[in-house]
């Protein structure tokens, strides 16, 4: 059991940005999303939208860091989709397969929010297949998707 003073000091430390964040703030819509703070140096006082943007940038720059995220947000997943699609277009099937394997692993969590309708079903339908067949099924599904993955997302909040 932690003391109230320790709890207060922890909240103060987080609010001042003295800690490295490894999750969104309590009450955030993606509060179940976690990441290994060793791979994402994000101060705890950074706003949630900026946290998500920084993590997406990290995924674009170093896609394998996706493996260090639990319950990635749909935006994080779309960053990986775009990379997989790009790798396929350039003929880098092995790299695309690595990214698809990361998606399959991420979808092992029942708490992940599905970024592309039908992806969870494709992954679940392949549980009886070997790894190569599962990866191929996911890549085929991503290749058949109609929406582009490299869409720029905008914050639609009204100006203050």
What span, in angstroms and rounded, lies between the C-alpha atoms of 90 and 87?
Answer: 5
- For 156, other C-beta atoms within 10 Å of its C-beta total 5
pLDDT of 144 = 86
| pLDDT > 90? residue 160 | no
With a pLDDT cut of 70, the percent of the chain lying above it is 82
Residues 6+ away with beta carbon under 8 Å from 143: 85, 88
Which pLDDT band holds residue 152 (cuts at 50, 70, 90)? very low
User: What are the extents of the domains in the chain?
Assistant: 18-144
> CB of 59 within 8 A of CB of 66?
yes
Q: How far is CA 158 from CA 28, 99, 104, 154, 155, in A?
A: 20, 36, 37, 12, 9
Query: What pLDDT, on the 0 to 100 scale, is given for residue 17?
Result: 60
With a cut of 70, say whether residue 122 has pLDDT above it.
yes
């Amino acid at each position: 059991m932690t003391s109230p003073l320790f709890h207060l000091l922890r909240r103060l430390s987080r609010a001042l940005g003295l800690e490295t964040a490894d999750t969104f703030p309590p009450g955030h819509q993606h509060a179940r999303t976690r990441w290994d703070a060793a791979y994402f140096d994000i101060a705890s006082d950074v706003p949630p939208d900026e946290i998500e943007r920084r993590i997406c940038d990290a995924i674009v720059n170093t896609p394998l860091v996706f493996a260090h995220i639990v319950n990635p947000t749909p935006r994080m997943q779309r960053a990986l989709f775009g990379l997989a699609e790009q790798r396929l277009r350039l003929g880098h099937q092995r790299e695309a397969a690595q990214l698809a394997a990361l998606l399959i692993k991420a979808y092992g969590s029942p708490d992940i929010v599905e970024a592309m309708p039908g992806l969870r079903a494709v992954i679940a339908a392949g549980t009886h297949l070997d790894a190569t067949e599962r990866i191929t099924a996911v890549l085929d599904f991503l290749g058949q998707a109609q929406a582009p993955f490299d869409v720029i997302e905008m914050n639609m909040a009204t100006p203050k």
